[in-house]
């Protein structure tokens, strides 16, 4: 298999990356408690994987209300900013590039994760179904539970959230990140505003598709003010089908997903952001994105496009050969193979993921996966 096209230099915003291989955002729940603070263990994890052409952190909540899973890191306190500096310094010392994924789960949360045990916040008071959230039940222990009923944000609160995203971007810059990615996928807050299923508002943030895209537009403009358009990306999960498979996260299927996400892509193209990240359906036997969508997206969005979602090397090569994408993310493979680009380039076998150590814990199943050079000595 000729993989040379995955090792071509590629432009993302004003950055020139050494290869097309991406470490995507992967929730691992290893932050220090209390305070959801990034730590030395996380710095080691990201440093190990810094031969990726491009890296995006795990979802990082922009405020305390933005958390939907125990032990995920934040970017809203001084302690968290200092913790992330350990990560960015480690990655930069190894020559890597890393963006912070700014995350707010909105309604996909539980009262036990919210300040003062309050209800989660959302565009509309509609409870999330078919997904789970993770709450702490004891020291280092937790369980998956149904999300709580959310309350609807006021118009003024929506505008305050735009400012919270702006502040989170400022915090990310202080922490040394090269840029930020807005998590607008998988049924979380930004996605909730876009979706006809979760946004029943009657103010300027609800109703028509342009109105439902308004919050994303204002948030994107806010973080561009901080980092500049060349250092901002947005992630979508444009689902064209769903599943009954038991899921922690999923997403929302619009009545016309093609129109919804092409319209969103055009808006973001006009704002001039550096890239779109497209998270494809990733459950067992999930359908591929329609070719018509890939083609239209490529015509609509003029800058870099990242594809993710159970990608194999062969699938990345195929999509790349058709000109639909620019970079390709390998999630589970990168968890288990810190030197994944080298293994792909040399055609080496891959370590398999340990499913029981994906979320929470310490070094095991996190920074102890062997490098190929370790296996050969």
Which sequence positions are flagged as catalytic? 188
242 in Cβ contact with 148 (< 8 Å): no
* Among 146, 101, 147, residue whose Cα is nearest residue 122: 147
The gap between the terminal CA atoms of the chain, to the nearest Å, is: 26
* Among 186, 167, 164, residue whose Cα is nearest residue 234: 186
* Among 93, 88, 90, 96, residue whose Cα is nearest residue 15: 96
Q: And the tokens for 297? A: 């997206």
The HSE-up count of residue 168 (CA atoms within 13 Å, CB side) is 32
Three-state SS annotation for the chain: CCCHHHHCCEEECCEEECCCEEECCCCCCCCECCCCECCHHHHHHHHHCCCCCEEECCCEECCHHHCCECCCCECCCHHHHHHHHHHHHHHHHCCCCEEEEEECCCCCCCHHHCHHHCCCEECCCCCCCCCCEEEEEECCEEEEECCCCCEECCHHHHHHHHHHHHHHHHHHHHCCCCEEEEECCCCCHHHHHHCCCCCCCCCCCCCCHHHHCHHHHHHHHHHHHHHCHHHEEEEECCCCCCCCCCCCCCCCCCCCHHHHHHHHHHHHHHHCCCEEEEECCCCCCCCCCCHHHHHHHHHHCCCEEEEECCCCHHHHHHHHHCCCCCEEECHHHHHHCCCHHHHHHHCCCCCCCCHHHCCCCCCCCCCCCCCHHHHCC
């Amino acid at each position: 298999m000729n993989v040379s096209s995955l090792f071509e230099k590629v432009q993302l915003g004003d950055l020139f990356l050494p290869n097309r291989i991406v470490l995507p955002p992967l929730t691992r729940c290893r932050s220090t408690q209390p305070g959801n603070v990034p730590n030395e263990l996380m710095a080691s994890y990201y440093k190990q994987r810094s031969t990726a052409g491009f890296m995006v952190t795990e979802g990082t909540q922009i405020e305390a209300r933005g958390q939907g899973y125990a032990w995920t890191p934040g970017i809203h306190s001084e302690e968290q900013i200092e913790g992330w500096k350990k990560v960015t310094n480690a990655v930069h010392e190894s020559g890597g590039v890393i963006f912070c994924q700014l995350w707010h789960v909105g309604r996909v949360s539980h009262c036990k994760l919210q300040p003062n045990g309050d209800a989660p916040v959302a565009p509309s008071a509609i409870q999330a179904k078919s997904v789970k959230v993770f709450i702490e039940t004891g020291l280092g222990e937790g369980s998956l539970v149904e999300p709580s009923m959310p309350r609807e944000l006021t118009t003024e609160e929506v505008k305050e959230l735009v400012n919270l995203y702006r502040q989170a971007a400022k915090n990310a810059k202080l922490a040394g990140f090269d840029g930020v990615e807005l998590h607008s996928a998988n049924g979380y807050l930004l996605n909730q505003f876009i979706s006809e299923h979760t946004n029943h508002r009657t103010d300027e943030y609800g109703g028509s598709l342009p109105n439902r895209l308004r919050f994303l537009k204002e948030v994107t403009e806010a973080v561009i003010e901080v980092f500049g358009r060349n250092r901002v990306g947005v992630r979508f999960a444009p689902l064209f089908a769903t599943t009954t498979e038991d899921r922690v996260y999923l997403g929302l299927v619009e009545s016309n997903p093609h129109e919804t996400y092409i319209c969103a892509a055009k808006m973001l193209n006009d704002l001039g952001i550096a890239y779109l990240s497209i998270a494809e359906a990733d459950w067992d036997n999930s359908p591929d994105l329609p070719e018509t969508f890939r083609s239209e997206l490529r015509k609509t969005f003029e800058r870099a496009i990242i594809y993710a979602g159970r990608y194999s090397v062969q699938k990345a090569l195929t999509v790349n050969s058709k000109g639909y994408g620019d970079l390709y993310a390998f999630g589970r493979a990168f968890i288990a193979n810190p030197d994944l680009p080298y293994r792909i380039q040399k055609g080496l076998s891959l370590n398999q993921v340990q499913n029981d150590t994906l979320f929470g814990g310490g070094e095991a199943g996190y920074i102890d996966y062997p490098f190929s050079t370790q296996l050969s000595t």
